[in-house]
Each structure stands twice: as C-alpha cells, then as structure tokens.
Amino acid sequence: MSSVTNIFLTNNKSSSQWQNENLLQIIEDDIYIYLDKSFSSPLKNIQRAARSIEKLGVKHACLKGDLWGIDSQWAFALGFTCVGKLTNIEFTGEQTTIDTLNNKLAVYAWSRNLTNQTPSELTPLLLAKQAQDYITAQAPDCVSSRLISGDDLAKQGWVGVYNVGKGSVNPPCIVEIDYNPTDDEQAPISTCLVGKGITFDSGGYSLKASVGMFHMKCDMGGAAVVSGALALAIRQGLNKRVKLILCCAENMVSNNAYKLGDILTYKNGVSCEIANTDAEGRIVLADGLLMASENNPSMIIDAATLTGAAVLATGGDYTALFSLDEQLAEQAKQAANIESEPLWQLPLEKWHQEKCPSAFADTANSRPVPGGGPGGASNAAGFLSRFVDSKGWLHFDLAAAYNGSANDQWAAGATGLSIATIANLLLTQ
C-alpha cells in the first residue's frame, strides 16, 4: 500500500465478481467501504472495515467522497487508529466538521497514548505532571493546580491514596487542576472530575497472577479519560469552572505496603477494613470524592477501570454507569447516545453500601472472595457512595477502556471510550 490511501464510502457493489459480497472493495489504488442499507449497525461496520484497512498496511487514511458524515468518520477513526497511528487520518467535509474531528482525534490520541505508556515511564508524579501540562496547554491563562504527595497526604488526612501508594518507591500523589475561565476566584464550580490513577497494579498482598497483572499499566485509564474529557470540553468552548482531581499511586508489595486487615479512617469518619488489597481503586477514589465534595459542585463524575465484574457484565463493550441520581443518569445516557459511545447503567441502591460488611469497621473495601463475590461492580459503587452526596454524582466503571489484544473493532491498547460522553456532560451541565 502507498503511504496515503484514499478511502470512500459507497452504496454500490463492485462490478468485480470476487468483491461482490465484500465489505471492502479495492479499486485501483483506492479502497471503498460498501454500506448496505440493510446493515443494522452501520457505524460498527465502518469501524470493523477501518480495522481491516489498517491491517492491510495502510499508513495514512484520507477520507474522500460525499457520503462521509461526522459520525461515520469518527467510527472509521476509532477502528483505524492504533499504536503508532493514533492521528494518521485526513478527514473530509466542511471546515467546521474537519476541525471538530481533528480536535477530538488529538485529545483521544493523547489520552490513549498516556494509558499505553509503560509503568516505568509513567509513575504517579509523572502522570500528575503530564495531566497538568496538557490541561494547562489548552487554556494557559485559565488553569491553576496544586499537588499533594508522599507523607503530606497522610498529614492532610488523605489516607486512601497514601496507604495504597506507600509500598512503592515512587510516591503517591493527588493533583487538583482548576480550570476557571470566569476571571472570578470565587466562581462556583460546575463539576468536579475524579480519576483513578493507579499507574501499576500488582494487587498488593492480594497479589495478581501474571496473566492478570500483565496489562495493569492501564489501571490509570480513569485519570486519562477524565483528563481527556476536560481537555476536549475546553477545546469545544467550555465556559464553566471545572476541577479535575487525579488520585495517583502504584499498588506494590513491600515491607511498607498496606496489609489485609488494616483499618483506614477517612476524613468523613467512615472507617474501612482492608479485605482485599487488589480492590485499591475504590480506596483512592474515596479520597478524590471527598476532596470533590469539599468544593460543593453541582455535579461530580468519577471514572475508573474499577472492577472485573463490570467487564464480565458488559463483555468489555460498554462503559458501566452507576448513579443514585436517576435524572442525571438519564442525562448521561442521552449524552452517550449523542456521542455514539456505548454506556450501560447497572444497578445501584443505597443498600449496596452494606454489601461489604466488616466486624471491625463501618465497612470493608470488598469481600474476601474472588472478584468480590456476586454483584461486585454494584458493591464497589455502593462503597464509593459513602463518600459523596447521592444527588449529582455519576460513577463510570470503564469496562471498555482497554483491550489487551486486538479484535474486529479495536487495535490493542487504550480506546478512550467515554471521553466524549463526559465532555458532553461538562458542556451541558
């Protein structure tokens, strides 16, 4: 294949007999994606076709013709892009359409590349710095930040992030990034975003097997998604104050690591017994949700690669949504529909808070059984709900954030899914 290949959509089958039933049709040096009106999921078919085109060795795709819309071009981008080709697409249409797609592609590429970095490249402090630098670059005059790291976390009462991260030689941290375009230091905060930033997850003393640990560089995917969502919303004209809180740590085994049976007492007085050191994401997010709540925002959104149970429930094809605010959950589902991002709401009730009982504390962080037992994803969300007001809170369990190997729709690595959905919510809140 040449370095740049023209890609067309077509409603007409090729006259070449051997290509008659093919989704892809190669005519001279161009590639056509055949769209039959009977297709039930045309965007999925375009994404699959794009994945096949990338595997043909196409280095750079140039979309041509009048049939490309903004949604179909984005579906192609999701299928075609991969490690080493995260921005290798030339879009078509009106200049506003091209600009919109290029902005979106750039943000997704940054977020996906961040998630794909190795654990040695991306330690907790470096994750915080890269997010700070990227958000600041979007609007240098509107962004400020503060960083709390190492022992200062314990001194200030952020016991979750401190304890999960204290077993590593790379210190844990919380970074709070304040985007304020109002020129008013007292402006109310519309939304707080909270992201899980576990840059490597060994499982701690609840040690993962190699097969479960191999892809754990992606356990900071929540931090990458909410950072990308804020960046995308800024590029799309966000004029409200938003704070981004990233809870960053490595979950390691050492003489100083937190242990099963330890009890942590959070700033809001909730005590938590550690029943599983591999259920560390909810432990750090509790700190982030408490910090977010101190700002009295209208909405709090957290995002995390939190539970294997959500992956099992969704097949890894959807982001799992949890909320005790049904009106806000409906808004989230509408936003996901607008952005063509798969989102599925799973059960959450107040009584899910009691699903991880402890004889020694208000709650345990999980159950001492594989996967946390039945309803593991809902129980994790129930744990988080102890640290935030139920009204105005959304929890995104990013079951579709990363693929360990390629499939018919995605290359291996981070997907960036839910960035556009959360950005939409920031803009419409």
The per-residue pLDDT string of the chain (429 residues; one tens digit each, 9 = 90 and over) reads 558 999 999 888 766 655 666 788 888 889 999 887 666 789 999 999 999 999 999 999 999 999 999 999 999 999 999 999 999 999 999 999 999 999 999 999 999 999 999 999 999 999 999 999 999 999 999 999 999 999 999 999 999 999 999 999 999 999 999 999 998 999 999 999 999 999 999 999 999 999 999 999 999 999 999 999 999 999 999 999 999 999 999 999 999 999 999 999 999 999 999 999 999 999 999 999 999 999 999 999 999 999 999 999 999 999 999 999 999 999 999 999 999 999 999 999 999 999 999 999 999 999 988 777 889 999 999 999 999 998 999 999 999 999 999 999 999 999 999 999 999 999 998
- Specify whether 176 is located in the same domain as 81: no
**209 and 317 within one domain:** yes
Per-residue confidence (pLDDT) for residue 27, from 0 to 100 = 84
Residue 106 belongs to some domain of the structure? no
Q: Is 60 left (phi over 0), alpha (psi -120 to 50) or beta?
A: beta
Q: Kindly write down the DSSP assignment for every residue of 41-97, as one continuous string.
A: -HHHHHHHHHHHHHHTT--EEEEESS---HHHHHHHHHHH--TT-SS-EE--SSHHH
Could you tell me the two tokens for 85?
A: 């080709």
Which of 93, 123, 151 is a domain's end point? 93
Give the chain's domain count: 2
Whether 160 maps to a domain, the answer reads yes
Active site residue 282: yes
- Whether 112 is catalytic: no
Enclosing domain of residue 70: 4-93
| Residues 82 and 145 occupy one common structural domain | no
Is-contact 63 328, C-beta < 8 A?
Answer: no
In a domain, 100, yes or no: no
Per the residue annotation, which of 48, 217, 282, 355 is the catalytic one? 282
Strands (E), 252-401: 263-265, 271-273, 299-304, 319-322, 343-345, 363-364, 393-397
| Residue 310 placed within a domain | yes
User: Could you read off the pLDDT of 363-405 as tens digits, one per residue?
Assistant: 999 998 877 788 999 999 999 999 999 899 999 999 999 999 9
Whether residue 89 sits in one domain with residue 122: no
Same domain, 65 and 121: no
Residue 211: CATH number of its domain: 3.40.630.10
Residue 164, in any domain of the structure: yes
pTM of the model: 0.96
> 236 and 145, same structural domain?
yes
107 in a structural domain: no
Which is the catalytic residue, given 13, 44, 208, 333?
208
